Amino acid sequence: MAFASPFAPEPPHRHGVPERTGVLVVNLGTPESPTAPAVRHYLAEFLADARVVEIPRLLWLPILHGIILRTRPAKSAAKYASIWLPEGSPLAVWTARQATLLQGYLGERGSSVVVRHAMRYGQPSVAHELDELKRAGCTRILVLPMYPQYSGTTTASVMDAVHAWALTQRNLPELRYVKQHHDEPAYIDALAERVQDTWQREGRGEHLLLSFHGVPQRTLELGDPYHCQCLKTARLLRERLGLAPEQMSVSFQSRFGRAKWLEPSTDATLKALAKKGVKHLQVFCPGFPADCLETLEEIALEGRQVFLAEGGQRYDHIPCLNDHPAWIRAMVAVVQRHLQGWPVTLADQPRAADLEAQRQRALAGGAKG
């Protein structure tokens, strides 16, 4: 009696074929269109992740499917529609461009790695893109989550997706992960250049607010390093920009649900700064390498309304890193550091003829023994 294998079929193993190295850039994800059905499908996957919502499934899933997925998609779809680009979701557009530029920059430096991008929730999926890297001959894969500051709610979830894919593979590639790069010098330099570009173009505001994505306070109490890494990124950036502590603030946005989240909240900080007398405020989101709903709608649009309504006079949203050359160089620096020891150029790879000759010598030696 034949039993179905739980593993995906593999192509026949071929001797003498040079192995390749791949890099998978992974971002959070986005609906495929700014419509309620597409947003519902996206949220159903995103909010069902136990890493994202740490509530017992028996309690959470009825709330998710019975209330949230019935009411939130239409509201969120309208927000997505307000920031949608002709090419599609900003997050998808920027992430794809970053992967393409990373491939090009690495190529200019002599690396022949294969770079692809995926979304943790939505398309292209992590599993599909890992399959594509294997089809391209990659036997070593570096996974680069696009979260500079590590959190179990984000980076660890990417690792979960990779591990789930690995459970279906017979011939596993070597795997490495970039856990975090919150204090990578090239990343801090890229952030500083983005802010300075705005200063040169728009003038320097009275105050700089750094808004990071929020997470429940409980995650900090349970040992998640995210909050501390956000504060370190902020301190390093402030020092790099030459600002005094009173010239910059840190806040946390995108609160969801009734639980206590990291504070201070961005909304409350915007109101407080306006009431304090700050007239010209500039807001930057260092934890988001690519502009998305949370930066373009929540910060650039809603944040402006909050600040101006409380008496502020000028509000500048500083774009995310997106395809800024300094950020692509930072990605290259992070990737090259984590690829150390792996062959990444054609010169590093043994020629097929040499590999076959080695195999024949080994076989001959075994026969003599």
- Cβ(274)–Cβ(307) below 8 Å: yes
- Amino acid found at 199: W
Structure tokens at 175: 């795997």
Neighbours of 353 (CB within 10 A): 9
Contacts of 61 by beta carbon, 8 Å cutoff, 6+ apart? 48
CA atoms of 192 and 299, how far apart (whole Å): 19
213 annotated as ligand-binding:
yes
Three-state secondary-structure class, residue 208: strand
Sheet holding 138-145, edge to edge: 114-121, 20-29, 138-145, 174-177
Contacts of 255 by beta carbon, 8 Å cutoff, 6+ apart? 214, 261, 265
First-last CA distance in the chain? 39
CA atoms of 45 and 196, how far apart (whole Å): 38
Q: What's the sign of the alpha-carbon dihedral 325, 329, 334, 339? A: positive
CA atoms of 50 and 260, how far apart (whole Å): 18
298 annotated as ligand-binding:
no
CA atoms of 369 and 225, how far apart (whole Å): 56
Three-state secondary-structure class, residue 45: helix
Half-sphere exposure of 218 (CA within 13 A, CB side): 10
Structure tokens at 18: 């040079």
| Residue 288 phi, psi dihedral angles, 5° rounding | -110, 105
Three-state secondary-structure class, residue 128: helix
Annotated binding site: 213, 294
Annotated binding site for Fe(2+): 213, 294
